[in-house]
Amino acid sequence: MGNEAENISQKILDTYKEKTPGSMAHQELAGRYLPGGDTRSATYFSPYPVYMERGRGCYLYDADGNQYLDMLGNYTSLIHGHAQPAIVEAIREQADNGTVFGAVGAIQYRHAEHLCNRIPSMDMIRYCNSGTEATLFVIRAARAFTGRDGIIKIDGGYHGGHDLAEVNNVPDIATDGPPRASVHAGVPASVLQDVQVVPFNELTAVATILEKDADRIAAIILEPVLGAGGVILPQDGYLAGLRELADRFKILLIFDEVITLRLSTGGMQKLTGVMPDLTSLGKIIGGGLPAGAFGGRADIMAIFDPAHPRAITHSGTFNAANMVMAAGLCALTALDQPAIDRINSLGERLKKGFHNAFQETGVRGLVSGIGSLNQVHWCDDPPQNARDAARALAGAGELPGLLHLELMNRGIYSAKRGMFVISTPMTGEEIDKTVAAFAGTLARLKPYIADRYPQLVV
């Protein structure tokens, strides 16, 4: 590495360490009890993550008192930011009366009624505690209803941490043809017997599987906008094409709207008019507390009714805990159309600002996404699937990590992988601040990029 490039990366690291000695001390203590000092792979980054102590509105404050604009929102779940007064009050009021009862409660069906009213395909719903559980149970529902075990999923589609969801949750970048299905350590290879993996945005791959194997397939599950795989939009006709294939071959279509519910009052299905049979939900529906849910067509969801002749068991000690329902209903009620329009347009402003920054600094890069969800990619051809995005990310090597650290040095907290998420407490001022920090960081990194990754310089 040239001297100038070396100096730039070292200086960024030094500044980070100078600003965050308290976090470094915490990390040492945490490492004694938590493997790697963390309890969630996604929140770790090198040299050590910041320890946040407080959040208010769209700002976070770390162990050293540094303030950060929160462009992560706990990975899209905190749509109203931190400690939103009405949500805090709803939590406090419910906490005063007990957090969870091991019994049904009216707040549960009120929350369910709210979701069913806003999500077009949602006739009935069941609750759980996370998006992971939501996708686990939505798949179980599809299998129980159809009597088949096979599932089609997307290469690089992210549905949480259960065995089936782990299959190609990181895309296959090693091959060029159809993605090879694989699992990570700890997941039995036997799970692959029932999963077939297809690239996002390719209808023919799905059709080919169904022509051969439809009578073994219960459902196809996908995020209608690929999330962790790169915030990639479906091409025109892709979702409608999947609906048509599902109908033709009599399998179920499942949308995982754990992230995308935020895009409209009724998620991507409402935006596109393409109705899935089943939907999984999480993140924003708990108002900042842990929540998940799944639901859809009444004839499918009826299988969870204890009076159903083939009823399947669905339990969970904290399912629809009253305090979560109270916070969630408050958050969802506040997330009306004007609120969604506002954050979506702030997201578009951010996207435009980042695009300008790439152009002005002469670095190859773009921003994908929609509305309040944005993702930086280090390439100039928009990625169409998770493999495209992962290859661009791999090609940028250490650069995304350095950009992430330097943005933190400048008071912006985002996902290390380059995702920027808008929340309702933000205004144009926060967006402009983020764009300025991004443009300044890119300009600072330009000589480093020219030295290490010359292919990214225009």
Ligand X SMILES: Cc1ncc(COP(=O)(O)O)c(C=O)c1O
Phi, psi for residue 457 in degrees, rounded to 5: -100, 135
236, 241, 244, 248: CA torsion to nearest 10: 170
Among 82, 159, 387, 410, binds ligand X (CB under 6 A): 159
Which of 62, 70, 155, 256 is the catalytic position?
256
Positive or negative torsion for Cα 12, 18, 23, 26: positive
CB 84 within 8 A of CB 76: no
Q: Select which of 68, 153, 270, 283 is catalytic.
A: 283
Q: Which of 55, 282, 383, 400 binds ligand X (CB under 6 A)?
A: 282
Query: Which of 258, 268, 289, 389 is in the footprint of ligand X by CB under 6 A?
Result: 258
Q: Is 127 in the site for ligand X (CB under 6 A)?
A: no
CB nearer ligand X, residue 224 or residue 365: 224
Tell the residue number behind the tokens 């329009």, with chain if given.
Answer: 341
| Residues 169-208 interacting with ligand X (rule: CB under 6 A) | none
- Is residue 62 among the annotated active site residues? no
Site for ligand X in 69-88 (CB under 6 A): 75
Give the nearest distance from C-beta 185 to ligand X in angstroms.
19
- How many other CB atoms are found less than 10 A from the CB of residue 62? 21
State which of residues 130, 368, 414, 423 lies at the interface with ligand X (CB under 6 A): 130
Kindly give the residue spans of alpha helices, DSSP state H, lying in 54-155.
73-76, 85-96, 106-118, 131-146
Q: Of these, 48, 59, 137, 158, which contacts ligand X (CB under 6 A)?
A: 158
Q: What is the CA radius of gyration of the chain?
A: 22
- Of 221-229, 404-412, 413-421, 427-435, the segment contacting ligand X by CB under 6 A is 221-229
> How far apart (Å, rounded) are the C-alpha atoms in residues 329 and 340?
16
Query: What's the full length of the chain, in residues?
Result: 458
List the one residue from 20, 132, 168, 372 that touches ligand X (CB under 6 A). Answer: 132
Classify residue 150 by its DSSP letter. E
Q: Which is nearer to ligand X, 365 or 371 (CB)?
A: 371
Q: How far is it, in rounded angstroms, from Cα 430 to Cα 440? A: 15
| Secondary structure of 263-323 in HEC code, one letter for each residue | HCCCHHHHHHCCCCCEEEEEHHHHCCCCCEEEEECHHHHHHHCCCCCCCCCCCCCCCCCHH
Residue 148 DSSP SS3? coil
Q: Which stretch binds ligand X (CB under 6 A): 222-230, 348-356, 374-382, 430-438?
A: 222-230
- Among the listed residues 48, 59, 68, 158, the single catalytic one is 158
- 33 catalytic residue (yes or no): no
What are the tokens at 274?
A: 């393409």
256 binds ligand X (CB under 6 A): yes
- In the complex, the smallest distance separating the C-beta of residue 259 from ligand X, rounded to whole angstroms, is 5
Scanning 104-112, 252-260, 304-312, 424-432 for contacts with ligand X by CB under 6 A, the matching segment is 252-260
For residue 256, indicate whether it is catalytic: yes
Place of tokens 């051809």: 381
CB of 15 to ligand X, least distance (A): 30
Give the binding site for ligand X (CB under 6 A). 75, 130-132, 135, 158-160, 223, 227-228, 256, 258-259, 282, 292
By annotation, the residues acting in catalysis are 158, 256, 283
